A and B are shown apart, each in its own frame.
Chain A
Amino acid sequence: MKFKIKKNNIIDVLSRVQGITGRKSNLAITENILIQTKGDKIFIAATDLETGFEGTYPSKIESDGIVTINSKKIYEIVKNFPSDDIGFEEVDNRWLKIGNENVLFNLVGMNPDDFPEIPHIDEINFLNLNSYDFKKMIEKTVMVSAPTEEKRAHILGVKFECIEDDGEAILRMISTDGKRLSKTDYFNIEEKIEISEKDTVIIPKKGLNEVAKFLNHEGKIKVGIKDNNFIVKKENETIIINLLEGEFPEYGDIISVGDDNVIEVDKDSFRMMLKRMSILTSDEYKGVVFKFDKNTLVVRAANPEIGESKENMNIDFKGDPIEVAFNPQFFIDTLSFIDSDHVFLRIVDDEHPCFIQGKNDKSFLSVIMPMKI
């Protein structure tokens, strides 16, 4: 195998696959990427056995071949390479020469036959989505992250479903960590796709994080589900994620907005207030107390080991006083993903969740459970 490639054609993809190849798995070869020549392009594949990536990139091919090479090392070499054109040549015993007449690296590869097979997906019923919107959906759901020791599928993954509401097909993603829930909708999809027999699947958050790295701010992408795989396809790149086995708890009752107080607040002022209040929180004392009373919101934080803080905010509230404690970090996380300048807080009492929604953004809803006072 011998080819030459422009540094700019390969550096981005090598950087983005580090998240996949950097993960520990039972196979040492998953730390490698597979490079294969195909016509006038090279084909690059990476996998961590849960998430697989494939992409093709233009290059000047002199002879065909296939190699697997350490992903981190090849990325560092390409990143620091002094000139734009980089030559790759396979020599005996799976060694790969990388460089030009001035700079030369010899890297030892592994047997390409040992590289795990990435499922080959034929044409399926794909759904066309705007790349930027889908990236935003992923970011809004994976922000509700799962602790490393967590084993439950509905915490480790994001529920992906296609539903119909008033005759309109909606693509919905829901994520939870058991204490809060994030729901984001994609309206105006062309048609409802058949996701699976159950019409709902759970996609690992880890895999979605990798997908987000590959999504651009412009253009279209295709998403689809086949057997046990979630597929995201771009023009020259495909990511395939193994779905999680498990049930997602019924969330319909949780997100149904009932007879509660709706309070409009300025997003930035509210977020900054919570940031100030969270200065005194710690792992042991995470909660701050919100008191809604006669057009005023008073937020108090008390940490016996550090001290106390209090801040008032004028709001439009005429209901009975409500005193409820929340983890302010959950609000801060949510507010940073809302595009509107003003947000609606819907609050019931100290035992029911608080709903947060952007004034001009009905596609994203965050549900946060309170803490015991």
Chain B
Amino acid sequence: MHSRWSGFLQKKGWGPGKVRVRSVIHLNVADFAVEVERQLDCRLRRRPVIIAPEAAVRASVYDMSEEAYQEGVRKGMPLRQALRFCSGARVLPPHFDRYERAMAVFLKRVLPFSPVIEVADQKGHLFMDVTGTGRLFGPPPDIAWRIRKIIRSDMGLDPIWSVAGNKLVAKVATRLVKPSGEYIVRAGDEETFLKPLPLYLMPGISADDLKQLGEFNLSLAGQVAELSVEQLDLIFGRRSLILHNAVRGIDPSPVEPMWRKKPVIRFDHEFGNDTNKEGDVEGALYGLVEKAGAKLRRQRLAAGRFRVVLDYSDGKRTIRHASAKPPAADDFSLFAASRLALKRAWTRRVRIRHIRLICDRFVLPSAQLELFAVSRSQQEKKERLMAALDTIRNRFGSDAVQMGRMVSKDAA
């Protein structure tokens, strides 16, 4: 009995002294922003495209197509320089809301295959830990292949995929096959796989590290892998262990599932006509505050931090935050903190297209009673007013009662 079980467990990778091999899939839609724009406008296909806030002074490249990349355009490059390299490129302003919506759909398609999915950024990168899902969905390459097929048919995007034992190696593998393709790195082959690859492909190795390594004529992962930690320590100090592990393909960091991230409350407002009128923007912000406040009160929470994201007409985005001390859930305190964040974010005269309010750092509302009767009655008054507004809105709809600042002057 014992031998039969141990044989079965060993076969499944659960034998004594054995550790189940991790399987991480990395999905990457290359040039994500450009690909999303191309789905909306087919004329952009097969021609160089640069995503950059064109009207902005000293605009820099947010993303570019493979055609533009081949001409020498790089992310973060000044737009003027990029256009000198690739004069025929079509320049589009960034539409962050579109990319976020596309990312949400991308994630939705992937979710059925694993509960452990890390959204690395909003630019088409996902890590999935599919360890132990073999009996459900088959081997990891099959899962990746099926996801690619689904994304292609549902979204028209063509993600690159790779399967490896950890996030670092999986990411290097997708970088290697960019702009399209797939790569499987078998468990135990990490160091051999990385050996001939240039160091700039390694995540976690900074530009400063590359420069310093270049001074020692080290340009390949295999060359650095021959050095001991002690030798690296002489040059890189505390970063020596990171480098030592990176070039050997060692990365114990887990795939951080989305549900482990701190919760946030987020509401958006898209202006019908782009505007830079203070009243309109503050009115819209107050509307978002009311929604966020109602949600916080329903959940019996108070928020400590408020972030305002402004998308300008020219595609530029600014994000600033402000704190509420103590954390609050009433609309007045929420608006005071949010308006401060808005003031910090609103530094340009360009019209605003879209505003977003993000509340986080949730705590339970303060249970401490006030000492002075005046403060206590003010607090109680505020709570009663909020409760009355919530009751009216729950029964008759959110527009049943509105603050004066929400009523536009034209309507008045």
B40 within 8 A of A: no
**In the complex, are the beta carbons of B372 and A371 less than 8 A apart?**
no
- CB-CB nearest in chain B for A254: B371
Interface-facing stretch out of B41-49, B159-167, B360-368: B360-368
**In the complex, are the beta carbons of B371 and A179 less than 8 A apart?**
yes
Shortest beta-carbon distance from B71 to chain A in Å: 50
B375 within 8 A of A: yes
Shortest beta-carbon distance from B365 to chain A in Å: 9
A287 within 8 A of B: yes
B: contact size bracket: 10 to 19
Known: A178-B375, A284-B364. A149 touches B369 (CB 8 A): no
Shortest beta-carbon distance from B236 to chain A in Å: 33
- CB-CB nearest in chain A for B372: A249
Q: Which residues of A contact B371 (CB under 8 A)?
A: 176, 178-181, 254, 353, 367, 369
Shortest beta-carbon distance from A330 to chain B in Å: 9
Interface residues of B in 358-406 (CB under 8 A from A): 363-364, 367-372, 374-375
**Residues in chain B within 8 A of chain A (CB atoms):** 325, 363-364, 367-372, 374-375
| 14 CB < 8 A contacts A-B | A178-B372, A178-B375, A179-B369, A179-B371, A249-B372, A249-B374, A254-B371, A254-B372, A286-B368, A287-B367, A351-B369, A367-B371, A370-B369, A371-B367
Shortest beta-carbon distance from A306 to chain B in Å: 14
**Distance of A254 Cα from B375 Cα, bound (Å):** 13
B-facing mask of A178-198, CB < 8 A → 1, else 0? Answer: 111100000000000000000
B-facing mask of A184-218, CB < 8 A → 1, else 0? Answer: 00000000000000000000000000000000000
A362 within 8 A of B: no
**Distance of A171 Cα from B286 Cα, bound (Å):** 49
**Distance of A358 Cα from B366 Cα, bound (Å):** 29
**Distance of A287 Cα from B371 Cα, bound (Å):** 16
Question: 8 closest pairs, A vs B, by CB?
Answer: A372-B367, A371-B367, A369-B369, A284-B363, A249-B372, A369-B371, A371-B368, A179-B368
CB < 8 Å: which of A147, A283, A327 contacts B368? A327
Shortest beta-carbon distance from B105 to chain A in Å: 35
Q: Which residues of B contact A347 (CB under 8 A)?
A: none
Q: Which residues of A contact B363 (CB under 8 A)?
A: 283-284
**Distance of A325 Cα from B368 Cα, bound (Å):** 9
Shortest beta-carbon distance from A356 to chain B in Å: 14
Do most interface residues of chain A lie in helix, strand or loop, or is the interface mixed? Answer: loop
**Residues in chain A within 8 A of chain B (CB atoms):** 147, 149, 176, 178-181, 249, 254, 283-287, 325, 327, 351, 353, 367, 369-373
Q: Which residues of A contact B325 (CB under 8 A)?
A: 147, 149
**Distance of A353 Cα from B372 Cα, bound (Å):** 11
Q: Which residues of B contact A327 (CB under 8 A)?
A: 368
**Distance of A254 Cα from B371 Cα, bound (Å):** 8
**Distance of A178 Cα from B326 Cα, bound (Å):** 13
Q: Which residues of B contact A351 (CB under 8 A)?
A: 369
**Distance of A370 Cα from B369 Cα, bound (Å):** 6
Q: Which residues of B contact A179 (CB under 8 A)?
A: 368-371
User: What 6 new A-B contacts, CB under 8 Å, besides A249-B374, A283-B363?
Assistant: A178-B370, A179-B368, A179-B371, A181-B371, A327-B368, A371-B367
Q: Which residues of A contact B364 (CB under 8 A)?
A: 284-285
CB < 8 Å: which of A254, A285, A371 contacts B369? A371
Q: Which residues of B contact A371 (CB under 8 A)?
A: 367-369
**Distance of A370 Cα from B368 Cα, bound (Å):** 6
Known: A147-B325, A149-B325. A325 touches B367 (CB 8 A): yes
Q: Which residues of B contact A287 (CB under 8 A)?
A: 367-368
**Distance of A287 Cα from B369 Cα, bound (Å):** 12
Shortest beta-carbon distance from B88 to chain A in Å: 54
**Distance of A180 Cα from B371 Cα, bound (Å):** 6
**Distance of A180 Cα from B372 Cα, bound (Å):** 9
- For A147, A176, A284, A367, the residue with the greatest tally of chain B CB atoms inside 10 Å of its CB is A284
**Distance of A373 Cα from B364 Cα, bound (Å):** 12
Shortest beta-carbon distance from A197 to chain B in Å: 24
Shortest beta-carbon distance from B391 to chain A in Å: 21
Shortest beta-carbon distance from B281 to chain A in Å: 25
Q: Which residues of B contact A176 (CB under 8 A)?
A: 371-372
**Distance of A351 Cα from B368 Cα, bound (Å):** 10
**Distance of A223 Cα from B294 Cα, bound (Å):** 53
- For B367, B372, B375, the residue with the greatest tally of chain A CB atoms inside 10 Å of its CB is B372
**Distance of A351 Cα from B144 Cα, bound (Å):** 61
**Distance of A178 Cα from B373 Cα, bound (Å):** 10
Shortest beta-carbon distance from A67 to chain B in Å: 41
**Distance of A373 Cα from B368 Cα, bound (Å):** 9
- CB-CB nearest in chain B for A179: B368
- CB-CB nearest in chain A for B376: A369
- CB-CB nearest in chain B for A352: B369
- CB-CB nearest in chain A for B374: A249
- For A176, A178, A351, A371, the residue with the greatest tally of chain B CB atoms inside 10 Å of its CB is A178
- CB-CB nearest in chain B for A282: B363
Q: Which residues of B contact A178 (CB under 8 A)?
A: 370-372, 375
Shortest beta-carbon distance from B396 to chain A in Å: 30
**Distance of A346 Cα from B367 Cα, bound (Å):** 21
**Distance of A285 Cα from B367 Cα, bound (Å):** 9
Shortest beta-carbon distance from A312 to chain B in Å: 24
**Distance of A353 Cα from B325 Cα, bound (Å):** 23
Q: Which residues of B contact A249 (CB under 8 A)?
A: 372, 374
**In the complex, are the beta carbons of B368 and A369 less than 8 A apart?**
yes
Shortest beta-carbon distance from B338 to chain A in Å: 16
**Distance of A325 Cα from B369 Cα, bound (Å):** 10
Shortest beta-carbon distance from B326 to chain A in Å: 9
**Distance of A372 Cα from B370 Cα, bound (Å):** 11
Shortest beta-carbon distance from B10 to chain A in Å: 40
Q: Which residues of B contact A286 (CB under 8 A)?
A: 367-368
Q: Which residues of A contact B368 (CB under 8 A)?
A: 179, 286-287, 327, 369, 371
Shortest beta-carbon distance from A116 to chain B in Å: 31
Q: Which residues of B contact A369 (CB under 8 A)?
A: 368-371
